[in-house]
Structure formats: structure tokens, C-alpha cells
Amino acid sequence: MATQLHRRLNAPAAVAVHGLTRSFGTRRVIDNLDLNIQPGEFVALLGASGCGKSTLLRILGDLDPEFSGEVTVPTRRAIAFQAPRLMPWKRVWRNVLLGLPGRPDRARAERALDEVGIGHRADVWPKVLSGGEAQRASLARALVREPDLLLLDEPFAALDALTRLKAQALVAELWQRHGCAVLLVTHDVEEAILLADRVLVMKDGVIAHQESIALPRPRDVADPEFTRIRGELLDWLGVRQGAAH
Ligand SMILES: Nc1ncnc2c1ncn2[C@@H]1O[C@H](COP(=O)(O)OP(=O)(O)OP(=O)(O)O)[C@@H](O)[C@H]1O
């Protein structure tokens, strides 16, 4: 079993990972991985299914202590998953405050809900929310913590195409307003290029490739440079049809 060698939490608003290894049984899912994320940087993480993306995110989010290596993350961090994970027995505004210490501050929850466009849903039960609204509530729950690092594990994967585009635009806007660093796990190469400053490709337990995206925002999928980067990333993912390596 892997052991935790170092963990420093009171870091500046940046991520520094060095020599990270995580095994399940005899399989090393993460194998001596290094990663740095600057304060305020938006990083997207791509990789084949099962390559260890969520495992990495869970370690950064403090949900998995069974690793070896050095992991430095900002103290203020928040995580949102593909499933919104709202508690059905708590009204939406109380879900937003879930886990925060002190007396429930309804005004604080409402501000976060307003920010993601569902302030009018503060008093309802989670079950009446649409999929897009539930995902927004989940984002509000992350934002209310005013994180320096926002970890997003395929937050748009379950949404229909139109709702997904709106949610992507919302995340871009929130990121620009809050200035937190973001690590977004996604399967969608276009989504990664649209949103991120830097796109990482995870393979064989490490960051095998990275692309810095210098295109101005908002980005245009028809831009030739966008197309070039997409081709490059698809090559690394081994999924471009007819492409020679
Ligand atoms: N708690 C666990 N116990 C045993 N094996 C695990 C555990 N968590 C993850 N794994 C294994 O580790 C590997 C990486 O899983 P992980 O969920 O990190 O992949 P992923 O890249 O996020 O995949 P996907 O893109 O399909 O979500 C998988 O083979 C998975 O089965």
C-alpha cells in the first residue's frame, strides 16, 4: 500500500505535485507524476478512460490519502463532480452551505446561487431542479468556499448539448471573475481547448503531453490554430482517424 510521505497544505494559491504515485493492488495508476499549476491558471486534463484522471483529482481534493510523493495544494479548494451530489433532504440553499462551519448564512448561499443564475431556486428541494440547475447548484456549493483551486471532474458530461454550452460559458465567466486556478477533467477535446490556458494529456500514469493554448477568448472552433491543436491532442489520445503517428 502506498504511504503518504509529504503533504503541505498551507501553500500559496498554486499546485505543486512531485513524484506522485498511487497504486490499486499491484497496478500503479499514477506513476511518479509531476504537475504544477499557477495561481489563477485554467488547466484541462484529458486522457483515456481509466488512466487515472479522477484518481489524481481526488488526491488533490484531499479525498484520497493513500499516495506517495509530494502534493502541495492551496488550503482553500473545492471540488465538483459529474453528478451534482446534492442532499435530497436539504433545500438548495442549505446544500450550498453543506460542510461549512458556523451558523448557516442564507445570504451567502443566495449570493452564490445568484452568481450561477439560480437564485430563484434557493428554497426548492433538489429533486425539482433540472440537470443543468442541479449542476449550477453544485458549482455554487464550490464557489461559496471562495476557493483558490477549483477541481472539476467532468462537470458537464451528463448535460445535453445546449445546457452544456451554457455551463461551459458560465464556468469561463466564473473563473475570470474569481481568478481561482481550475483543474478540469474532461473527455471533450474541444471543451478543453475552448476553456483552458493549458491542456494536459495523461497516459501511463504521468502527464505525457501538454499544450499551451494562446488563442484569444472567446475561442473559435473554426480557427485554424484551434484545429491544429485539436489534431495534436487527438493524436496524443490515439483517437484521430487516419492520422499517422
Ligand atoms: N478505489 C479503487 N479501488 C480499486 N481500483 C480503483 C479505485 N479507484 C480507481 N481505481 C482504478 O484506477 C484506474 C483509474 O481510475 P480513474 O477513475 O482515476 O480513471 P479516469 O481516468 O478518471 O477514468 P474515466 O475517464 O473513465 O472517468 C481504473 O482502472 C480504476 O478501476
Query: What is the distance between the terminal CA atoms of the chain, rounded to a whole angstrom?
Result: 37
Q: Kindly report the protein residue whose alpha carbon is nearest to atom 25 of ligand 1.
A: 49
**In a domain? residue 7:** no
What 8-state DSSP symbol labels residue 216? P
**In terms of domains, do 140 and 156 share one?**
no
- Number of Cβ within a 10 Å radius of residue 146: 12
Q: Are 184 and 56 in contact (CB under 8 A)?
A: no
**How do 42-47 and 198-203 pair as beta strands?**
parallel
If you measure from the C-alpha of residue 56 to the centroid of ligand 1, how many angstroms do you get, rounded to a whole number?
A: 10
Residue 44: which of 52, 53, 32 has the closest Cα?
53
Q: Which residues line ligand 1 (CB under 6 A)?
A: 24, 29, 47, 49-55
Structural domain boundaries, residue 31 = 15-76+147-237
**In terms of domains, do 207 and 171 share one?**
yes
* Residue in 55, 153, 183 to alter for ligand 1 test, most ligand atoms within 8 A of Cβ: 55
**In terms of domains, do 139 and 43 share one?**
no
If you measure from the C-alpha of residue 25 to the centroid of ligand 1, how many angstroms do you get, rounded to a whole number?
A: 12
* Residue in 53, 64, 200, 207 to alter for ligand 1 test, most ligand atoms within 8 A of Cβ: 53
Closest atom of ligand 1 relative to the 154 alpha carbon: 27
CA separation for the pair 45, 201 (Å, rounded): 6
**In terms of domains, do 226 and 190 share one?**
yes
Looking up residue 209, the CATH number of its domain turns out to be 3.40.50.300
Q: Give the model confidence (pLDDT) of 138-178 as tens digits.
A: 999 999 999 999 999 998 888 888 988 988 999 999 999 99
**In a domain? residue 22:** yes
Tell the burial category of 93 from Cβ atoms under 10 Å away from its Cβ (0-12, 13-18, 19+). buried
Mean pLDDT across the chain? 91
For residue 158, the model assigns a pLDDT of 81
Chain center to CA of 100: 20
**In a domain? residue 58:** yes
For residue 99, the model assigns a pLDDT of 86
Closest atom of ligand 1 relative to the 202 alpha carbon: 21
Q: Kindly report the protein residue whose alpha carbon is nearest to atom 16 of ligand 1.
A: 52
CA separation for the pair 42, 27 (Å, rounded): 30
Residue 229: which of 195, 185, 204, 206 has the closest Cα?
195
**In terms of domains, do 108 and 222 share one?**
no
**In terms of domains, do 45 and 131 share one?**
no
Q: Give the model confidence (pLDDT) of 39-88 as tens digits.
A: 999 999 999 999 999 999 999 999 999 999 999 999 899 999 888 889 99
Q: What is the DSSP string of 29-87?
A: EEEEEEEEE-TT-EEEEEE-TTSSHHHHHHHHTTS----EEEEEEESSEEEE-SS----
If you measure from the C-alpha of residue 49 to the centroid of ligand 1, how many angstroms do you get, rounded to a whole number?
A: 8
Number of domains in the chain: 2
**In a domain? residue 242:** no
If you measure from the C-alpha of residue 64 to the centroid of ligand 1, how many angstroms do you get, rounded to a whole number?
A: 12
* Residue in 1, 49, 51 to alter for ligand 1 test, most ligand atoms within 8 A of Cβ: 51
Single residue among 146, 163, 178 that ends a domain in this structure:
146
**In terms of domains, do 187 and 124 share one?**
no
CA separation for the pair 132, 6 (Å, rounded): 38
Residue 183 has pLDDT above 60, yes or no: yes
